[in-house]
C-alpha cells in the first residue's frame, strides 16, 4: 500500500513537471499567435491578451505578400531537406559498422563522436568563416548543407546505431547461409527493416535544421539565399519601430511547417525511438 502511494506521488510529480514545462514552452507561441491575429491598435492599446478582441488574418496575408518571404521558406526547406538527407545517408554505414563489428577502439570512437556533439558550433564557425572566405566559398547553399551535415553527424550516428542494434543478427546470418554476401544481406535484409528508423532520424534532422540560425547567419549574406530563420531577422529590421503584429505573423508562419511535419509524423518518430525497426 505504501509503495503504491509512493508510486502515485511520483507519477503526479512527473505529470506536474511535464505540465509546467509544456506551459513554459507553449505560452510564447500562444502569445505570438495572439499578436499575429490582432490589429496594430489592439497590440498597442489592449495589452497582452491570449484571445484578441477582433481577430484578423490580414497580418498573415501581408506577410505572405512580402516579396521574399516565400523565398525564405523555400531556402529553409531546401537546406533542411538536403542537410538531413546527407547526414542520414552518410551516418548509416558508420552506424551499421559500430553496431555489427567489434574492433579495437570502437567504444572510444563512439565516446569521441558523442564528445564532439557537446561542443557548440559557434566554436568552429569563426575560423570556418575565415577559411571559407579565403577560398571564396561564402554565400553557397552547398557549403551550408555540408556544415549542416557535419553538425548532425554525431547525433545521427548514435541514433541510427540504436536502430541497427534492434535488427537481429540472425536475419543477416540466415541470408548469408542462403547464399547472400555481407553486402547483399545488408541491402536485402537490414535496410528494409531500418526504413522507419531511417525516416525518424531524417525527420528529426529536418526539424533541427529548420530552426538553425547561427550557421546560415554567418555563412550567408545575400538576401536571395537566406533561410527563414535568418530572414525573420531581416523582416524584423524592415519593420523596426512598429509592425509587431506582422513580425509575430511571420514568426508563426515560420514554425508552422516544422509543427505540421512533427504532428503528422509523430507516431512514426515515437514508434521508431521506442521500439526500433523490428518487433519482437
Domain contains 238 = yes
Distance, CA of 72 to CA of 229 (rounded, Å): 8
| C-alpha cell read off for 97 | 559498422
pLDDT of residue 279: 41
Residues 78 and 36 in one domain: no
Q: Is residue 98 part of a domain?
A: yes
State how far the Cα of 86 lies from the Cα of 24, in Å rounded to an integer: 34
Count of domains forming the chain: 2
Question: For residue 140, what pLDDT is reported?
Answer: 94
Based on the domain organization, do 85 and 24 belong to the same domain? no
**Range list of H helices, 69-105:** 69-100
Domain membership flag for residue 280: no
In this structure, the answer to whether residues 7 and 105 fall within a common structural domain is: no
> Which pLDDT value is given to residue 78?
95
Is residue 87 one of the residues assigned to a domain? yes
Q: Do residues 152 and 85 share a domain?
A: yes
Separation of CA 118 from chain center: 17
Nearest-angstrom CA–CA distance, 21 and 18: 5
| CB within 8 Å of 28: residues ≥ 6 apart | none
How many whole angstroms separate alpha carbon 124 and alpha carbon 136? Answer: 18
Domain termination site, one of 56, 82, 103? 56
Check whether residue 34 and residue 67 sit in a common domain: no
Report DSSP state, residue 38.
Answer: S
Domain boundary among 56, 77, 94: 56
Going from the C-alpha of 50 to that of each of 25, 46, 53, the distances in angstroms are: 15, 11, 10
Q: Are 109 and 174 in contact (CB under 8 A)?
A: no
Greatest alpha-carbon span in the chain: 76
What are the pLDDT digits (tens) for 45-93?
666 667 777 788 888 888 888 888 889 999 999 999 999 999 999 999 9
Tell whether 30 and 158 lie within a shared domain. no
Query: How many other β-carbons are positioned within 10 Å of the β-carbon of residue 244?
Result: 18
Cell of 156: 545521427
Are residue 223 and residue 252 in the same domain, yes or no? yes
Residue 166 resides in a domain = yes
Say what the pLDDT of residue 241 is: 54
Q: Does a structural domain hold residue 22?
A: yes
Residue 205 lies in a domain: yes
Residue 85 domain-assigned?
yes
What local confidence, expressed as pLDDT, does residue 44 receive?
64
Better pLDDT: 39 or 231: 231
Judgement on whether residues 27 and 157 belong to the same structural domain of the protein? no
| Pair 100, 236 in one domain | yes
Residue 7, SS3 per DSSP: helix
Instruction: Domain of residue 104: give its range.
Output: 63-275
**Shared domain check, 183 and 125:** yes
19 and 92 in a single domain? The answer is no
Q: Are residues 82 and 38 in the same domain?
A: no
pLDDT tens digits for range 198-247: 888 898 899 899 989 999 999 999 989 999 989 888 877 766 555 778 88
- Work out the average pLDDT over 114-143: 86
CATH code, domain carrying 186: 1.10.3720.10
Of 40, 56, 72, the residue at which a domain comes to its end is: 56
* Cell numbers placing 154: 554525431
Q: Rounded CA gap, 207 and 84, in Å?
A: 9
What's the whole-model pTM score?
0.82
Amino acid at each position: 500500500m505504501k509503495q503504491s502511494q509512493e508510486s502515485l506521488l511520483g507519477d503526479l510529480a512527473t505529470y506536474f513537471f511535464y505540465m509546467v514545462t509544456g506551459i513554459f514552452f507553449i505560452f510564447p507561441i500562444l502569445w505570438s499567435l495572439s499578436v499575429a491575429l490582432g490589429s496594430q491598435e489592439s497590440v498597442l492599446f489592449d495589452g497582452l491578451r491570449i484571445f484578441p478582441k477582433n481577430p484578423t488574418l490580414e497580418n498573415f496575408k501581408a506577410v505572405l505578400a512580402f516579396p521574399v518571404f516565400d523565398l525564405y521558406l523555400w531556402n529553409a526547406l531546401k537546406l533542411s531537406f538536403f542537410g538531413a538527407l546527407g547526414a542520414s545517408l552518410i551516418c548509416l554505414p558508420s552506424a551499421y559498422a559500430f553496431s555489427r563489428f567489434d574492433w579495437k577502439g570502437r567504444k572510444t570512437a563512439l565516446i569521441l563522436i558523442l564528445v564532439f556533439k557537446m561542443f557548440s558550433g559557434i566554436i568552429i564557425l569563426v575560423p570556418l568563416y575565415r577559411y571559407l572566405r579565403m577560398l571564396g566559398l561564402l554565400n553557397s547553399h552547398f557549403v551550408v548543407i555540408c556544415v549542416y551535415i557535419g553538425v548532425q553527424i554525431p547525433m545521427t550516428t548514435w541514433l541510427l546505431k540504436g536502430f541497427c542494434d534492434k535488427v537481429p543478427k540472425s536475419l543477416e546470418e540466415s541470408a548469408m547461409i542462403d547464399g547472400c554476401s555481407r553486402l547483399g544481406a545488408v541491402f536485402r535484409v537490414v535496410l528494409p527493416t531500418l526504413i522507419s528508423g531511417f525516416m525518424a532520424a531524417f525527420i528529426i534532422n529536418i526539424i533541427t535544421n529548420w530552426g538553425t540560425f547561427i550557421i546560415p547567419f554567418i555563412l550567408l549574406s545575400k538576401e536571395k539565399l537566406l533561410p527563414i530563420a535568418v530572414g525573420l531577422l531581416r523582416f524584423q529590421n524592415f519593420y523596426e519601430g512598429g509592425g509587431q503584429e506582422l513580425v509575430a505573423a511571420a514568426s508563426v508562419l515560420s514554425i508552422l511547417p516544422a509543427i505540421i511535419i512533427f504532428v503528422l509524423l509523430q507516431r512514426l518518430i515515437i514508434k521508431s525511438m521506442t521500439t526500433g525497426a523490428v518487433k519482437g
